[in-house]
Structure formats: C-alpha cells, structure tokens
Amino acid sequence: MRIPIKEVTPQTGQAEVIGWVHEVRDLGGLTFFLIRDRTGILQVTIPKKKVEEEVLATVREVSKESLVRVRGSVKAIEKAPGGRELVPESFELLARSESPLPLDVVEKVPADLDTRLDARFLDARRPRVTAIFQIRSAVTRTVYDYLFTRDFVNITTPKVVAAATEGGTELFPIAYFEKEAFLNQSPQLYKQMMMAAGFEKVFEIGPIFRAEEHNTTKHLNEATSIDIEVSFVDHRDVMQLLEDLIVHIYRTVQDQCASPLEILEIGELAIPHTPFERLPYPDAIEMAASATGETISYGDDIGTVAEKAIGERIGSHYFITDWPTAIKPYYAMPCDDDPSVCKAFDLMHPRMELSSGAARVHQHDLLVSQIRAKGLSPENFEFYLAPFRYGMPPHAGWGLGAERLIMTMLGLGNIRESVLFPRDRHRLTP
Ligand code: AMO
C-alpha cells in the first residue's frame, strides 16, 4: 500500500511510494532518482547490477516529472534527503511526462511569472507555490472558524446581478437572455438586505469582479472578498472586529503553518502592532503631502504614491477614517454633526489597502438622496431600496481582499502569486 514519502523511514522496512520524478542522476553503475510527493522528497537508489532487468528497462524510459510507483526496501543513509533511501524491487511508470517541460519544476532555470502561470499545474508542484496555497487554505479556515464562533451566518449571494454597487465603470457586462446583466462587484447590496431579513451577523467569502483596465501588481479582475455585515453596531465596532481578526489570522498561521512558512523562508511572521492607528483622512493627506512634496487637496483620493508614503511613516497596519462623504459610495453613513464627512474607513497595510467598510445609511430617504447625489437613479436600485422601507436596522460592515491579505502577510511581490488561476487584463486561461 502507498505511504506518503514523509512517513518512509528505515524502520518501515519495505515501502511503496507514488511520486513525480524530481531529478535523475545516472552515474553509470548507479542511478539516483529523487521522487517527490506533496509530503516530501525521497531518494531512490538503483545499483544496476543488483536490480531486476525489468526495473532497469523502466528506469531507462522515465523522464523528469513522470509519475512513478516504486516499491522496495528502505535503508538509512546519511547523505540522502531525510536520511534514507529506497532500493527498488519494482519500479513502475504510471504516467509519462513529455519533455522538454514547459517549466523547470526544480527551479534550476528561473521562470518569469507569465511562464509559470501558463503552466500553473507544473508551477504548483513546486514546494514554494504549494506552501502559499496551504497558507491561503489555513487563512480561509481561520476566517470561517473565527466568524462561526461569533455566531455569524454564512451566506451566498448572486454573482450575476442587475446593478452596480461600487460605481459603474468597473462592471463586466454579460449576456443574460434578453436582459442587461453584470458580474457582481461586491456582495454589498445583498449583505445589507440580509440585515433587513434579521440575520444580524452575516459573512461571505466569494468572488468579486472588477473591470479595471490597468494591469498592476495589486489588482485582479476576479478577486476574492471576505465580506461581513452586522446589525445594531457602528463602524467602530466592525473596525475592532477587523483588527482582531487580522491579528488572529497572523497568529494562527504562525502557529499552524510552520512547515509552509519554513519553505517560504519566513521564520517569524511580523504580527501587526495593536491597536492599529486610526488616522483621520485630513491627517493622512497632510502626512502624504509632507512625505512626497505633492499637494493632495481635500476630497482627492489617496493614490498609490501617497498610500506608500503614509505606509512608510506608520510602518504597520492602520485605518484611515473620517473620509469625505463625496468620495465614498452612497451607502456610507454621513456623520451627524458634519454630513460632509462619513463613517467610512479603509484598513491599510503599509504596502496597500486591504479593506474598506463603513457604518451604512439605513434610512430610506437619506439613501435615495445619496444615490441621486452620485448621479445614479434610484429606480435601478428598487430591489435594494425596498428593504429600507420595512424596518431596516442600523448596521455596518466591511470587505477584505483575501489575495491582498495573503500577499502582504507573506511579502509576495505580485498579487497573482496568491491566486491559483489569476484573471487580469490579458489572462483568461488557464
Ligand atoms: P472595495 O471596493 O474597497 O470595497 O473592496 C474591498 C477590498 O477588496 C479588495 N479588492 C481587490 N483586490 C484585488 N483586485 C481588485 N481589483 C480589488 N478590488 C477590491 C481590496 C479592497 O480593499 N463593498 C465594499 C466593502 C464594504 O464596504 O463592505 C467594497 O467592495 O482588498
């Protein structure tokens, strides 16, 4: 019976493993194979004079990255990986790999990201890539556990929708019978509607689609958003929840992902300092202006350069609060004392924005006037507005980009490293 390579020890005696041929070295009388499965690497040593001709015939046929089944006896040997080797009694070629390979799995020849993504199935055989997705999986699990423990209800909202949530320019139109439809930019309107349904605390981890034209290292056209919405709380409460969750994710990954972190050569994750600084928007633009020498007028967005300058000053996670109402979406609640400022926030990593959120407008008439103020027509939002006429609780929430979280946590240079099959301006396959 097959055992994982990690479990092969001299004490095992006989062992059978299935794995990919990582490397082959032919020294004449001796042939060494390194066989790899998801748990590790095993040396298979073939002394030509001591093994059956049948084994040798197969060995001659095998190319790198072919899948083989090997059975034989395990011996302790100091120099081999894991201090053991297997001398085969049987050596079977299960699936041959073509050569040349589109990508060098062993990484002796470095490949650029495009080549790697074109052959992602091979790229993902590399321990570094596997490690990223093991950690991503642990992060997802941690978020589910954290929110379920706090009585959140997991919801699934439609990805084919009739209206924009975050602004019209970033929509992907799709053919939906005779109607106009789009891919969903955010579960925003639906998670809010579930507050009217009385669910009180909801979350969703799902795809969001943004038709942004620019190709950057931190934008995808299909991303994953971790979204929450909570009734009877304000923006400060959900900011605290977000801060606690981020720190909890870092700690959990540090505790539970020792081996993938080691593969990525990350000894200690830099656990974010708490409390995260709350930086009001006017202070943020002033800080950016003094660092970059460029003026940012009140009401301008905080662009990439400014974001970077502030991030360098602060050096850890922080919130930008007190945003001008004019540059946040219609659903953000204006402040009672000064409606030109709203109860929206962004969570920032020193490198980039990770999350946006807000206390929401829950009063129907105010929402209608805010939709109008953005130049949108409330008629297109009737399905969303209706719940606001039947007892909508006050509520707040946020959306957190899963890929940016992984990317910043692991120090990856490009967001595409944190997605198995990224979708960007030029990439629609694999
Ligand atoms: P926002 O549009 O700021 O807010 O998105 C929230 C977070 O999602 C991630 N994100 C992206 N990641 C990669 N590529 C993209 N193109 C991309 N777009 C967004 C970012 C971002 O901070 N409805 C609100 C959330 C809310 O208020 O609850 C929203 O979607 O990490």
Q: In this structure, what CATH number is given to the domain that contains residue 87?
A: 2.40.50.140
CA distance from start to end of the chain = 34
Examine the pLDDT at 169 and tell me if it is beyond 80. no
Q: C-alpha distances in angstroms, 321 versus 282, 284, 337, 397, 430?
A: 9, 9, 15, 14, 40
pLDDT band, residue 168 (cuts 50/70/90) = low
286 part of a folded domain: no
Examine the pLDDT at 282 and tell me if it is beyond 70. yes
Ligand 1 pocket test, pick from 225, 395, 398 with the greatest ligand atom count within 8 Å of Cβ, gives 225
Give the Å distance between the CA of 186 and the centre of ligand 1.
8
Residues 91 and 126 in one domain: no
Phi, psi of 277, deg, nearest 5: -60, 140
288 part of a folded domain: no
Domain limits for position 21: 5-95
Is it true that the peptide bond before 127 is cis, omega within 30 degrees of 0?
Answer: no
Average pLDDT over residues 242-270: 97
**Cα–Cα distance for residue pair 378/427, rounded to 1 Å:** 35
Residues 268 and 410 in one domain: yes
115 part of a folded domain: no
pLDDT of residue 167: 65
pLDDT of residue 224: 98
User: What are the pLDDT digits (tens) for 117-156?
Assistant: 999 999 999 999 999 999 999 999 999 999 999 999 999 9
pLDDT of residue 146: 98
Give the Å distance between the CA of 291 and the centre of ligand 1.
26
Residues 148 and 226 in one domain: yes
**Cα–Cα distance for residue pair 375/381, rounded to 1 Å:** 13
**Cα–Cα distance for residue pair 141/93, rounded to 1 Å:** 37
Q: Which of 77, 95, 113 is the last residue of a domain?
A: 95
Examine the pLDDT at 300 and tell me if it is beyond 90. yes
User: What are the pLDDT digits (tens) for 1-23?
Assistant: 999 999 999 988 899 999 999 99
Residues 15 and 90 in one domain: yes
Q: C-alpha distances in angstroms, 354 versus 143, 246, 345?
A: 15, 10, 11
Residues 72 and 217 in one domain: no
132 part of a folded domain: yes
> Which of ligand 1's atoms lies nearest the C-alpha of 358?
27
Average pLDDT over residues 296-305: 95
pLDDT of residue 162: 87
Ligand 1 pocket test, pick from 143, 172, 354, 404 with the greatest ligand atom count within 8 Å of Cβ, gives 404
pLDDT band, residue 331 (cuts 50/70/90) = very high
Residues 176 and 259 in one domain: yes
Residue 202's Cβ-side half-sphere holds a number of Cα atoms within 13 Å equal to: 22
Average pLDDT, the chain: 95
Residues 177 and 256 in one domain: yes
271 part of a folded domain: yes
Examine the pLDDT at 269 and tell me if it is beyond 90. yes
301 part of a folded domain: no
Pocket around ligand 1 at a 6 A CB cut-off = 166, 186, 188, 210, 212, 219-220, 223, 225, 227, 353-358, 397-399, 401, 403-404
Residues 151 and 35 in one domain: no
> Which of ligand 1's atoms lies nearest the C-alpha of 332?
27
Examine the pLDDT at 77 and tell me if it is beyond 70. yes
306 part of a folded domain: no
Average pLDDT over residues 30-42: 94
Q: What's the token pair of residue 83? A: 């201090």
0.85 cut: is pTM over it? yes
Residue nearest to atom 19 of ligand 1 (CA): 401
Phi, psi of 198, deg, nearest 5: 85, 15
E strand segments, 196-310: 201-209, 222-231, 277-280
Examine the pLDDT at 303 and tell me if it is beyond 70. yes
Closest CA to 170 of 218, 209, 118: 209
pLDDT of residue 261: 98
pLDDT band, residue 412 (cuts 50/70/90) = very high
Residues 258 and 400 in one domain: yes
pLDDT of residue 107: 78
What type of residue sits at position 376?
Answer: L
Residues 41 and 89 in one domain: yes
User: Which string of b and e fits 297-325 if b means at least 16 CB within 10 Å?
Assistant: eeeeebeeebbbbbbeebeebbbbbbbbb
Average pLDDT over residues 394-400: 99
Domain of residue 259, CATH code? 3.30.930.10
300 part of a folded domain: no
DSSP secondary structure letters along 29-89: SEEEEEEEETTEEEEEEEETTTS-HHHHHHHHH--TT-EEEEEEEEEE-TTSGGGEEEEEE
Share of residues in the chain with pLDDT > 90 (%): 92
Residues 258 and 363 in one domain: yes
How many domains is the chain built from? Answer: 2
Q: Which of 55, 79, 95 is the last residue of a domain?
A: 95
Residues 271 and 362 in one domain: yes
DSSP 343: S
Give the Å distance between the CA of 278 and the centre of ligand 1.
19
DSSP 341: E
